[in-house]
Structure 1
Amino acid sequence: MSVLRARLSAILLAACLLFTGQTVTTPDRAAAADPGYLMAHFIGEGSTGQQIHFSHSTDGLNWRDLNGGGMTLRSTVGTRGVRDPALVRSPDGSRYWIIATDLCIGCGQNWDQAINDGSRNLVVWESTDLVTWSQPWLLNVAGAIPDGRNAWAPEAIWNPATNDYVLYWATNKPVNGVKKHRIYYARTRDFRSITTPQIYIERSGTQEIIDTQIVALPAGVGSHRYVRASGDGQITLEGSSSILGPWTHLGNLSGIGLTGAQVEGPMWMKFRDRNEWTLYLDQYASNRGYLPVVTTDPSASGTYRLPASGSYSMGGTKKRHGSILELTAAEESRVLARWADSPAKRLQSYNFPDRYVRHADFDVRIDQNITGPDAQFRLRPGLAGSGTVSFESVNYPGYYLRHSGYDFQLAHNDGTTQFAADATFRQAAGLADPTWSSFQSYNHPDRYIRHYAYQLRLDPITTATGRGDATFRVTS
């Protein structure tokens, strides 16, 4: 009996070892179930390239454009363009902000104007869930800097020492006869009001500094609690035990062939499953967007290495100066559902087939032969109920077709129950042709979307003319 027990014990031990070996050698299976990363960025020039775009990655190196590569937020304030977004999460995870440069090159302003007489404001959005965002507001940060000419490339980091955020950005300003960009900082709790700006980083002589981003390191990694990377002619690394300094020079990335003449917009990302970091750098000189540089110690310049060929993919759009957030499972689920790749569609009138639904100055009508983004919508799952649809504007993401007083407008989703009900419809067989579609109001089920004198309305349908007016084709 003891021999049998010994044999059984040996078999059980071998099985346990085999099982253990299998789990150790397949870490990718567990990692694949972990939440991924969200990048907020802009993609280039023009009125739609200089807006907020989102991308997602499961591993931090291979990225997929969200929302079909289209905008996820559009600025309607200031210059009506944004660059260099920073994505900020509150310490308790209850709030999120995006802060960005108020800048739209080629949209009525050139580089010389932006440098010497640009916007003194930052553009700010706020959210409680990463998917429904407030309308943007302007935060004047450089107006309190005497003779400050602009406000560029904002970043923010929570400072546990002062229990608020350190908000920092670049402003071009003459000091002692030298006009150049310096990094200024102020403190804030809500990105609506700030303390008096102070100089944070200044380089000697005429050397400018524009882009800076700080990463916090865990205990036991590197020689400093915080490391910042800055674009100042080099990609300079500095370390400190305090966000407000003093800071120690740690070197730069010239040893791997990367200088400020080639790259800018440093963006940190910590890998979730290991003590390894990526410093993404925007290859602006060659117009190629982000490149990941990997290190096991951000404070040691000699540990950085260029990526192997084919080891990363930036997706379909060019990723430029932005910010990365490590997602929780709940955040990832919400983000991927909200920004799913829903194709852009048009709504063609049944009885005026050369006309399509479009918005103009946020009013909604049918016009002839419209093909641009003002006539394009993404049919989203209904905001108010399952089995329904809502129409989100391609040109103004976050804005939906919504009835108010039975008239239609393109309106920003304010997150209320009333808005959701007013912007939700049931797609049914066309009242004039069952191969087309009609759209019944969710909260006024006796009424349908129809056009009247080319304007969109919500009306009861009782006549043949009304049935034709209330019938549309969803088309590309």
Structure 2
Amino acid sequence: MTSTGLPGYAGYLYAHFKRESAEGEQIYFALSDGNDPLRFTDLNNGRPVLSSTLGERGVRDPHLVRSPAGDRFYLVATDLRLYTSLDWDRHQRWGSRSIMVWESPDLVNWSDGRLVEVAPPEAGNTWAPEAVWDPEQDAYLVHWSSTLYDNAEHAGDSYNRIMYATTRDFREFSEPRIWIDRGWQTIDATVIDHDGVYYRFLKDERSRDGTAPYGKSIFSETSTSLTAADWRPLTEGIGLGAIIRGEGPLVYKSNTENKWYLWIDEFTPDRRYVPFETTDLAGGQWTPSTDHQLPPDPCHGVVLPVTTEEYDRLRSAWS
């Protein structure tokens, strides 16, 4: 499915988690104000619509993908709960190697969540999974961030690379492979396609200094193939100036005009997602959006265009 989407879109669903709290690291849904791409209100009275009781018993960074036929949805998320442990060293050396998966025919009725191991034994973590349909492979390409270690003890230094595996049913996955390895920390990749070109956004996780002037911010690159080795750099340091740092990018196209929106999580105590927009995706220049209403504490997630029937069903189920 391309970023132009299906006809008849009537709004947007924002799936996300919230900051660390007793209920925070679970799945929340927010619905747009009709076809307004920047005004959202949490559903279910601001409480989770899906919760994990498996693995780490918390989920972060949810991502939704619609099947090519449009008749099924898959939601994947990080198996992680920081509310009970802020031990970052443990989470990156001996964190979960699985992702949480839910599936639904209609965005309202969801299967029981299941843990699916996707990362190899040498991985220390499996963060921010996303799925995108790859017509070249006739399968979903599921990608995530992992630290990789060259010893069974997971000792020594490592850094996050972006891994991927393919699947057609989100139950059986191919052997994982490295998708992005810059030789330094990269996390939070997301992809959108338009006019036969893929646009990939991800976080430079390095500390910002003379060797990494755009550390802790978002950069983008393009390719005509998801698995190509020659992704072309497009823009670095997206949003800096309007925000001081950024992660967890999400990107989607307007349902009504030739415009795209990119949300970047500033991850400060006072502010989370900040939306940006452009009418020229290939130009790589993003302007802060001036009129928006996001739910309280909007963390790393995904915005999915929905049809009139889906919009009404979501509103009826959880308004």
TM-score by length of 1: 0.59
Deviation by residue 1:62-117 (Cα, 9 ceiling, x = unmatched): 11111111111011111110000001110111111110000001225632221221
Q: Paired residue for 2:211?
A: none
Give the root-mean-square deviation of aligned CA atoms. Answer: 1.9
Give the Cα–Cα distance (whole angstroms) in 2 for the partners of residues 174 and 248 of structure 1. 28
Contact 1:238 1:251 (8 Å CA) reproduced: yes
Q: Paired residue for 1:113?
A: 90
Contact 1:181 1:210 (8 Å CA) reproduced: yes
Q: Paired residue for 2:162?
A: 183
Q: Pick from 185, 199, 203: which aligns with 1:231?
A: 203
1:256 to partner: Cα distance: 4.5
Does residue 305 of the first structure (1) align with residue 277 of the second (2)?
Answer: no
Does residue 251 of the first structure (1) align with residue 235 of the second (2)?
Answer: yes
Contact 2:160 2:185 (8 Å CA) reproduced: yes
Q: Pick from 300, 305, 313: which aligns with 1:321?
A: 300
1:209 to partner: Cα distance: 0.6
| Letter aligned with residue 230 of structure 1 | L
For the residue of structure 2 that corresponds to 1:97, the secondary structure is strand
1:34 to partner: Cα distance: 5.9
Q: Pick from 79, 90, 109: which aligns with 1:102?
A: 79
Q: Paired residue for 1:170?
A: 145
Give the Cα–Cα distance (whole angstroms) in 1 for the partners of residues 43 and 142 of structure 2. 27
Alignment of 1:256-271 (within 5 A): 256-257=240-241, 262-271=245-254
Q: Paired residue for 1:5?
A: none
Give the Cα–Cα distance (whole angstroms) in 1 for the partners of residues 279 and 195 of structure 2. 12
Q: Go from structure 1 to structure 2 and tell me whether the alpha carbon gap of 1:47 and 1:255 turns closer, same or farther (over 3 Å shift).
A: closer
Q: Which moved more, 1:171-180 or 1:115-124?
A: 171-180
Contact 1:97 1:124 (8 Å CA) reproduced: yes
Give the Cα–Cα distance (whole angstroms) in 2 for the partners of residues 172 and 115 of structure 1. 7
Give the Cα–Cα distance (whole angstroms) in 1 for the partners of residues 170 and 137 of structure 2. 16
Does residue 126 of the first structure (1) align with residue 126 of the second (2)?
Answer: no
> What is the percentage of aligned positions where both structures have the same residue?
40
Contact 2:9 2:306 (8 Å CA) reproduced: no
Alignment of 1:48-447 (within 5 A): 48-57=23-32, 58=34, 59-108=36-85, 110-142=87-119, 145-174=120-149, 178-204=157-183, 207-218=184-195, 225-232=197-204, 233=215, 234-245=217-228, 246-254=230-238, 256-257=240-241, 262-301=245-284, 303-308=285-290, 311-315=291-295, 317-340=296-319
| Letter aligned with residue 247 of structure 2 | E
Contact 1:183 1:201 (8 Å CA) reproduced: yes
Contact 2:199 2:223 (8 Å CA) reproduced: yes
For the residue of structure 1 that corresponds to 2:300, the secondary structure is strand
Contact 1:263 1:285 (8 Å CA) reproduced: no
Contact 1:121 1:151 (8 Å CA) reproduced: yes
1:193 to partner: Cα distance: 1.1
Give the Cα–Cα distance (whole angstroms) in 2 for the partners of residues 127 and 254 of structure 1. 34
Contact 1:237 1:299 (8 Å CA) reproduced: no
Give the Cα–Cα distance (whole angstroms) in 2 for the partners of residues 258 and 103 of structure 1. 30
Give the Cα–Cα distance (whole angstroms) in 2 for the partners of residues 235 and 108 of structure 1. 27
Deviation by residue 1:409-442 (Cα, 9 ceiling, x = unmatched): xxxxxxxxxxxxxxxxxxxxxxxxxxxxxxxxxx
How many correspondences in the alignment?
Answer: 294
Deviation by residue 1:226-282 (Cα, 9 ceiling, x = unmatched): 1011001331110000111231111223575267x6110000111011111000111
| Letter aligned with residue 314 of structure 1 | L
For the residue of structure 1 that corresponds to 2:186, the secondary structure is coil
Contact 2:55 2:96 (8 Å CA) reproduced: yes
| Letter aligned with residue 251 of structure 1 | T
Contact 2:122 2:150 (8 Å CA) reproduced: no
| Letter aligned with residue 28 of structure 2 | H
The structure that is helix-richer by fraction is 1
Deviation by residue 1:273-326 (Cα, 9 ceiling, x = unmatched): 11110001111134422111101122322x211122xx11113x2111001110
Give the Cα–Cα distance (whole angstroms) in 2 for the partners of residues 113 and 34 of structure 1. 43
Give the Cα–Cα distance (whole angstroms) in 2 for the partners of residues 173 and 284 of structure 1. 25
TM-score by length of 2: 0.87
Contact 2:60 2:128 (8 Å CA) reproduced: yes
1:129 to partner: Cα distance: 1.1
For the residue of structure 1 that corresponds to 2:23, the secondary structure is helix
| Letter aligned with residue 293 of structure 2 | S
Comparing both chains, which one has the higher relative contact order based on Cα–Cα distances under 8 Å and sequence gaps of 6 or more?
A: 2
- Which runs of 5 or more residues in structure 1 are unaligned? 1-32, 220-224, 341-476
Give the Cα–Cα distance (whole angstroms) in 1 for the partners of residues 132 and 169 of structure 2. 12
Q: Paired residue for 1:16?
A: none
Contact 1:267 1:280 (8 Å CA) reproduced: yes
Contact 1:256 1:306 (8 Å CA) reproduced: no
